[in-house]
Every structure is written in structure tokens, then in C-alpha cells.
A and B are shown apart, each in its own frame.
Chain A
Amino acid sequence: MFDPAQASALDIARAVAEGATTASAVVEAALARIAALNPVLNAFTDMTVERARARAAAIDARRAKGEPVGPLAGVPFAVKNLFDIAGLPTRAGSKINRDRPPAERDSPLIERLEAAGAVLVGALNMGEYAYDFTGENVHDGPSRNPHDPARMTGGSSGGSAGAVAGRLVPLALGSDTNGSIRVPASLCGVFGLKPTYGRLTRARTFPFVASLDHVGPFACSVGDLAASYDAMQGPDADDPVCAARPAEPTAPTLATGLGGLRIAIAGGYFHHGLSPEGHTALATVGAALGVTRAIEWPEPARARAAAYVITCTEGAALHIDRLRTRPQDFDPAVRDRLIAGAMVPAGMVIQAQKFRRWYQARILELFKEVDAVLLPATPCTAPRIGQDTFTLDGVEMPVRANLGIYTQPISFVGLPVVAVPVPLTPLPIAVQIVAAPWREDVALRIAYALEKRGVVAAPTPAV
């Protein structure tokens, strides 16, 4: 008996294409599972039920006529609620944006996934305006971790990771400015891909920090991650940052093996503050790949500092009018950081951007010596919802600001990363596989090899 809740996206698409099930049956099963579990997980903020049913029926009708149904036929998916969905205001986790008029057109990534046969079923909870690493939201309530609903999903794409980890949908989209795909992928135990900056179009998504914003998918397998990523690639004139590169499909290369790949583990900064679980995950992945080479990543603490300065100031510039007119309608934790960001002298920001150029040159030199680098994704497994501090290396630190200490130096120069979940008990934690710019294929090949060896996997949720 085909069970869509346990099936991968590729299994679903195959079953729909072969007539073993229908897109309508798959979508109804997803809607039923969302209805049953969302009261616990709080992953979804909006449902697109009628649209999804109509879309599924159209796919089934096409198949009945013998027409192609696409590589993701009948696969339910959902998007972080900063992606435009025609007919809905794009709330971006905020109260303020709910007063915006409904979007007139879908985000191009929704259009591209639907062109491949996938079916949008709704929009997902997120930290306000994406300025978040926890998955908590004062307006919509926290998204909850499927492995322990008392714990954080991580953020800001918390609903996206929670929905996939809870098997509500096999695919979801999120955004990542400083770690907002990789942090929740780690805490929820799913695969996440943050592509190279400029690889996937961000058109018709609500921005946060234009010079750092990325978008990408979450899934429970590497095959699903690659298939969805491949369906979304390609230039888009509506996003000036989106590269004029043709699609470079990765799915056909997943199983080509690791022959010749030079893989290293970064030490120093990336081991400071790392929990025993994080050390175990990194060592497990490194051992499975036979990695013996250790490298020193250049100036990661300064890179994180510069990313922090650029983030708070660019974010403040984006929201300055809303801070003037509706300060009471922000999440206070977001508002106060943005107000502070508005007051930072411009010279500090320019210096951060100059450092970024220097740092990028060093990173490109590093990737002449290696093809991929392994790093931790988060310092620890999922903290409890509402937990303000944790202890790293014996020092008490704020959770909100420090969950992204290992992700920020990487997105700062737009490197592609696959976050791979190591299914530790009782909670998973991820490792980042970082590759050179435009080499998502390398990170995905390594992730696939680890998955086939049983080292990384999205564990079955407790809910």
C-alpha cells in the first residue's frame, strides 16, 4: 500500500506518473496530516486547499490523457511565508505585512516547482522579517520541533524545517541570510540546501538583507533536495542578483561517487563552543568520508562580525519607515535590534564590506586547495522554546544571537552549502558541507554518498 506520508518526493512523483496513486490522493493525504499535526507543530500559517485540489485534479487529468506530468508530479510542497502566493498578503512573519494587498502573482520558484508538477499546499511559519535563529514568532506562536514539540525548530525558516521533519510535506522552501536554512535543518534533522548567492531567483520574496539573502529547499533525502533544486534553477530578469547562468542539473551526478574530491575539516573557530553532540556529528561524517586533512578557515570570527554589522544596518534601512510609523507592531526583540542598526555609523558598514571583499579572495584561494569543507551547522541540538541562554565552552551565551555562529561566516560570501542531518539520539544535529561558488553539485554528491552509507538521514519524528 502506497503511503504518501512515508514516501519521498521522488517516490510520489514516480507513483503518480505510473498510476500507482493519484496526485489528488497524495494531496488529500497531506492535507489530512497537516490538519492532524499542525495544531501541535504550528508549522503552517496559511493553507491553499482549494488551489491544491484544483492543481492535483489537473495533473490527474493530464495523466489520464497520456500527457507528461513532470518530474515532481503530485508532490505537495509549502513555502516560508515570505514567498509571494497569489491571493495572499506576504506576511514575512510580521503583523504589519498582513495589511498589505494580496500578492498578484506567485514567486517564480513556486511557478517553477508547479511547472515540474509539484502542488503548493500552503505557507509556513517563520521568525519576524527573517531576523531570527529560533523559529519563535510573537504573532503566530513558535513553530515546534517534531522530535520534541517543547523544543525550537530553529529559524528563521522554522516552519519549513518543521513541516518537512514532521512529514507534513516532503518539500519546503526557505530563505537563508545568515543561516536560516541551515540552522533549522540542523535542529529539526532534515536536509537543507543554501545554494550559491545568486543561483536561485529571489524575485517576489520579501527581502531582509539584499546583499546576503538566499533561498533554497528542505527535504528528507538528498535525491529530493537535488530534484527540487534542479527544477528551480535558471536565470530570472526579475531578480538583478540572479546569475545569468543556465541550469546545471545536479541529480544526474549524485551517484558519481567521491573519486578525486579533496575534502577537509575546518578547525579552530568551528570547534570553539561546539557541544559534544556537534563534535560527534562532525567526527562521524569526517570518518565516514575518510577525511584526514584539517584546514584553518581564514578569519571566521571577523567574517561573522562583519556579517552581523551588515545585517543589522541593511535590515534597519529596509524597515526604517515601519519603525517610524508602527514600532508597536513589531516583535520587540526584532524592533530593538533594527532600531540599533539604524544608528550604526556608515563607516562601520563600509569597512565590513571592504573586509568582505578581502575575505572572499582568501576563500577562493582556499578552494583551489580543497573541493569541500566540513563544518558544524549549529553549536548544539535544539534548545527549549523560550530558552534565552545556553552554555558553550563553559560560557553562558544568548541563544538567539549564537545559534548561527558557524553559518554566518559561510553565507557572508555566498558559498553553497548542504546541511546534512546526523540522526543522533534523542535529537539530531547537522554538519555543513561547504563547496566552492557554483559547485552545489560537489556538496550534493558528498551528501548523497553519506546518505547511501547510512551516516546521515532525516530521523522519523516523535509526533
Chain B
Amino acid sequence: MSTSDLDEFIAASAGVLALPVDPALYPTIRFNLEVTFRLAALVADFRLPDDAEPAPVFRA
């Protein structure tokens, strides 16, 4: 995502989440999002079957 795309994402997310985010913080939040999305993509690239269970399993 481009810088402006990410800044729009931050602004929209902050609105949805009712988080008061000063635009002066956008560069550090953007940096953290870029790191997280890069690491999440590394995880997503690992193919798992559709019936793979998440680690925390609720038991009634």
C-alpha cells in the first residue's frame, strides 16, 4: 500500500474505532502497520487446509 493509502486506512480505522489519533502520529502508526502487515503476509503465505483449527479452542 502507498503512504497515502495507509494514511487513509489509519484515518478511517480511527474513526470506526473511535480512537482520537493525531495526524502527527500517522508516520509511526504507519511504520508499525507496515511491519505488521509484512509479517502477517508471511504467515498468510503458508498454506493451511480449510479445516485447520485455530490454536485457542473453546470447549463447552
Contact = CB atoms under 8 A, between A and B. Distances in A.
Interface in B30-55: 32-33, 35-37, 39-40, 42-44, 46, 48, 52-55
A336 B35 CA distance: 13
A324 B35 contact: no
Interface string A279-321: 0000000000000000000010110111011001000000010
Contact of B46 (A308, A327, A355): A355
A211 B17 contact: no
Contact of B32 (A304, A324, A336): A336
A409 to B, nearest CB: 12
A344 B44 CA distance: 14
Interface in A352-406: 352-358, 360, 401
Nearest to B48: A354
A228 to B, nearest CB: 29
Contacts of B39: 304-306, 308-309
B35 to A, nearest CB: 7
Main secondary structure of the interface of B (DSSP, over half): helix
Nearest to A401: B35
Given A336-B25, A352-B43, A343 B17 contact: yes
B60 interface: no
Nearest to A320: B17
B20 to A, nearest CB: 6
A138 interface: no
Nearest to B12: A343
B25 A339 contact: yes
Which 9 pairs from chain A and chain B are nearest by CB? Answer: A340-B32, A353-B54, A305-B39, A356-B55, A348-B40, A343-B13, A336-B28, A354-B52, A305-B42
Given A301-B42, A348-B44, A401-B35, 6 more contacts: A304-B39, A339-B14, A342-B17, A343-B17, A354-B48, A356-B55
